[in-house]
Amino acid sequence: MAEREIDPVTGIETTGHEWDGIKELNTPLPKWWLYSFYATIVWAIGYFVLYPAWPSLSGYTEGMLGYSSRAELAATMDQVKQSRVGWLTKFEEKSVDEIAEDQELLQYAMAGGRAIFGENCAPCHGAGGAGAPGYPVLADDDWIWGGTPEEIYTSVQYGIRSAHEDTREAMMLAFGADEILEAPQIKSVANHVMSLAGAGQSTAEGALIFEEQCSACHGEDGKGLREMGGPNLTDGIWLYGEGVEALTAQIAAPKHGVMPAWVDRIDDVSIKQVSIYVHSLGGGEK
C-alpha cells in the first residue's frame, strides 16, 4: 500500500488508488463482511467436493454425493408415472365410448391425447388436426372410415392400408393408367363429381359413367360408403386437391395414403386417449 495520504477536502484517508486524477477514499468494509466472503469460498470448496463440478477431457468430477440432475429427472418421472396408475387402470378397463361419456376421464384424455397426438400424429395430420393435402383434416366432420370414438379407435389401432392384417383397406381403380376409361370419359366424370359438390356442369355421359363405375363404392348419390371406405364426394372437402384437374388426376391414377397401425407402436391406453382427443377436435360423431 502507498504512503498514508489524507484527502484535504473530506479529511478521510485515501487508498492510494488513483485514476485520471480521481482518488479513492478509504471507507473500510466491516470485518464480518470479509469473513462472510471467506465463508462463501469455503462453501464453494465443499460444493466442489460434494457435487459435480469440474469438467475433464472425457467427463466431469462427479462429487461425493453422486448427485445428477438426470437421475433427479428420472426419479420425478417415476413419481409422475406412479401418480398416473389410478387413471391408467380406469382407461384399461373402460371402452372408448365409456371414456367419452365420463366427464373426468374425458378431460384427462383430452389433455393426455393432445400430447400423444403432438408426438405421433401431428407430423402428417398437422397440429390440432389441421390436415394437409393427402393427409385428412381431423378437425372437420368429414370421416372416410367413421367418426365415432370406437371407429376412430379402430382406425388408429390398425391403420389405413397398413401392414397389419386387420387394417382398413380400400383401393380405387386406376381408371386411366389401367385403360378402363378414355381421357374424355374421365374428364366428363370428373365434371359430374364436381357438380355433386355444387360446382361445375354435369353431363348425361358423366352421370352414366359415375353410376357404372363409381357408385359401388361412393354411393349412388355420391355421399360415400363408409363400409367400403368410399369418401363422400358431395361435401366439397377434397383429400387430394380441389378442382377438375386434381380430380381428373386422381381418377386416372389414384394416390392412396397409408397410415400405420399404431397398435404395435404405442400402448392401448395411449391409443384410447388419442382417439378421444381426435374425437374432441370438433368433428366427432355420436
Q: What is the rounded CA–CA span in Å between residue 175 and residue 248?
A: 10
Residue 254 binds to other proteins (criterion: CB under 8 A): no
Binding mask 31-70 for other proteins (x = CB under 8 A): xxxx------------------------------------
3-class secondary structure, 85: helix
Q: How many residues bind other proteins (CB under 8 A)?
A: 45
DSSP assignments along 259-274, one per residue: B--GGGTS-HHHHHHH
Encoded one letter per residue, x for contact with other proteins by CB under 8 A and - for no contact, window 147-166 reads: --------------------
Looking at beta carbons only, is 260 or 284 nearer to other proteins? 284
219 binds other proteins (CB under 8 A): no
Burial-class residue 73 by CB neighbours within 10 Å (0-12, 13-18, 19+).
Answer: exposed
Residue 286 within binding range of other proteins, rule CB under 8 A: yes
Output phi, psi for 63, to 5 deg: 85, 155
Find the binder of other proteins among 15, 167, 202, 203 (CB under 8 A).
Answer: 15
- Are 100 and 279 in contact by the 8 Å Cβ rule? The answer is yes
Interactions with other proteins, residue window 84-113 (CB under 8 A): 100, 103, 106-107, 110
> What's the min distance (Å) between Cβ of 3 and other proteins?
8
CA torsion, points 237, 243, 247, 250, in degrees to nearest 10? -80
Q: Which is nearer to other proteins, 19 or 32 (CB)?
A: 32
Applying CB under 8 A, does 129 fall inside the site for other proteins?
yes
* Grid-cell match 381418377, residue found: 251
Residue with cell 384424455: 109
* 123 scored as a contact of other proteins (CB under 8 A): no
